[in-house]
Chains A and B, each alone.
Chain A
Amino acid sequence: MIETEPGPGRPRLAKAGKVLSAMSTAALWLAGAGLVLMTIIVGWQVFTRYVLNWSNAWTEPAALLLMSWFIFLGAAVGIRENYHLGFDVLLYVVPRKAKLVLRAISDVVVVGFAIGMIVYGMELTVLGWNARMPSIGIPDGVKYLPLVGGGVLIVLFSVERFVLRLAGVSVDKGIDLEEIPSEDAVREA
Chain B
Amino acid sequence: MESIILFGTLTVLMLIGTPIAFCLGVAALMTVLYMGLPPLVIFQRLNSGMSVFTLLAIPFFIYAGDLMVRGGIAQRIVSFAGSMIGHLRGGLGQVNIAASTLFGGISGSAVAEAAAVGGLMIPQMKDRGYGADYAVNVTSMAALIALLLPPSHNMIIYSIAGGGRISIADLFTAGIIPGLMFAGALMITAYFVARKRGYPVDAFPGFRQVLHLGAVAIPGLLLIAIIFGGVRSGVFTATESSCIAVLYAILVTVTVYRSMGWRQFVDATLGAVRTTAMVLLIIGTAAGFSWLMAYLRIPAQLVDWLQSVSDNPIVILLLLNLILLLLGTFMDMGPMIIITTPIFLPVALAYGIDPVHFGVIMILNLGIGLNTPPVGAVQFVACAVGKISVWQAMRSIWPFYFAGLAVLGLVTYVPAFSLWLPALFRGG
Contact A78 B51 (CB under 8 A): no
Query: Is B274 touching A188 in the complex (CB atoms < 8 A)?
Result: yes
Query: Across the two chains, which residue of chain B brings its CB closest to A67?
Result: B56
Q: Does A58 contact B (CB under 8 A)?
A: no
A147, B381: Cβ atoms under 8 Å? Answer: no
Which A residues lie within 8 Å of B331 (CB)? 87
Q: When each residue 2-23 of chain B gets 1 if its CB lies under 8 Å from chain A and 0 otherwise, what string results? A: 0000000000011111111110
Q: Which listed residue (A70, A113, A180) contacts B22, Cβ 8 A?
A: A113
Contact check: which of B17, B47, B114, B246 meets A90 at CB < 8 Å? B17
B46 interface contact, C-beta 8 A: yes
Inter-chain contact A71/B50, CB cutoff 8 Å: yes
Residue of A nearest to B380 (CB): A185
- Knowing A85-B282, A147-B43, the reply to whether A64 touches B115 (Cβ < 8 A) is no
Q: Is the CB of A124 within 8 A of B59?
A: no
In the bound complex, CA of A87 to CA of B22 (Å): 12
Q: B230-248, CB under 8 A of A: which get 1 and which 0?
A: 0000011001100110110
Q: Which residues of B contact A72 (CB under 8 A)?
A: 277, 281
- Given known contacts A39-B243, A120-B39, A31 and B277 CB-to-CB distance under 8 angstroms: yes
- Check if B20 sits within 8 Å of A180, measured CB to CB: no
> How many Å from the CB of B122 to the closest CB on chain A?
12
Say yes or no: A90-B15 contact (C-beta < 8 A), given A42-B56, A85-B332. Answer: yes
* Chain A interface main SS type: helix
Query: Contact partner of B40 among A60, A106, A120, CB < 8 A?
Result: A120
Picked from A67, A85, A187, the residue with its CB within 8 Å of the CB of B334 is: A85
Decide if A91 is an interface residue (CB 8 Å cutoff). Answer: yes
In this complex, what residue of A is CB-closest to B40?
A120
Complex Cα distance, B280 from A116, in Å, reads 19
Partner of A46, one of B47, B244, B381, B385: B244
Query: What's the tally of chain A residues with a CB closer than 8 Å to chain B?
Result: 66
Contacting pair B278 A84 (CB below 8 A): yes
Question: Is there a chain A Cβ closer than 8 Å to B390's Cβ?
Answer: yes
- B216-271 residues with Cβ-Cβ distance < 8 A to A are 235-236, 239-240, 243-244, 246-247, 266, 269-271
**How distant is B402 from chain A, measured CB to nearest CB, in Å?**
25
Which chain B residues lie closer than 8 Å to A53 at the CB level? Answer: none
The answer to whether the Cβ of B108 comes within 8 Å of any Cβ in the partner chain is no
Pair B240/A109 contact, Cβ less than 8 Å: no
Tell me whether B167 is interfacial, beta carbon within 8 Å: no
With A90-B17, A120-B40: A39-B273 Cβ-Cβ less than 8 Å: no
Given contacts A38-B56, A77-B274, A189 and B115 within 8 Å (CB-CB): yes
A112: Cβ under 8 A from any B Cβ: yes
Contacts of A156 in B (CB 8 A): none
* Residue numbers in A under 8 Å from B246 (CB-CB): 39, 43
The 8 A CB mask of A23-66 against B (1 = contact, 0 = none) is 00000110110011011001101100010000000001001100
Which residues 378-402 of B sit at the A interface, judged by CB distance below 8 A? 380-381, 383-385, 389-390
- What separation, in Å, do the CA atoms of A102 and B44 have in the docked complex? 29
Determine if A7 is an interface residue (Cβ-Cβ < 8 Å): no
Distance between B308 CB and nearest chain A CB, rounded to angstroms:
31
Is A117 at the interface (CB under 8 A from chain B)?
yes
- B112: chain A residues within 8 A (beta carbon): 189
Contacting residue for B43 out of A31, A121, A181, CB 8 A: A121
CB pair A85–B17 under 8 Å, yes or no, is no
What are the nearest 8 A-B pairs in CB distance? Answer: A74-B277, A84-B19, A189-B115, A182-B384, A42-B243, A120-B43, A106-B18, A75-B281
- A42-B240, A83-B274 given; name 13 further pairs at CB < 8 Å: A28-B270, A39-B243, A68-B51, A70-B273, A71-B277, A75-B281, A78-B278, A85-B278, A106-B18, A110-B19, A123-B40, A179-B389, A188-B275
List 21 A–B pairs whose Cβ atoms lie within 8 Å, in order of A's numbering.
A31-B277, A32-B266, A32-B269, A32-B273, A39-B246, A46-B243, A63-B53, A64-B51, A71-B276, A71-B284, A75-B277, A77-B277, A86-B14, A86-B20, A91-B17, A105-B18, A121-B43, A147-B43, A179-B389, A180-B380, A189-B381
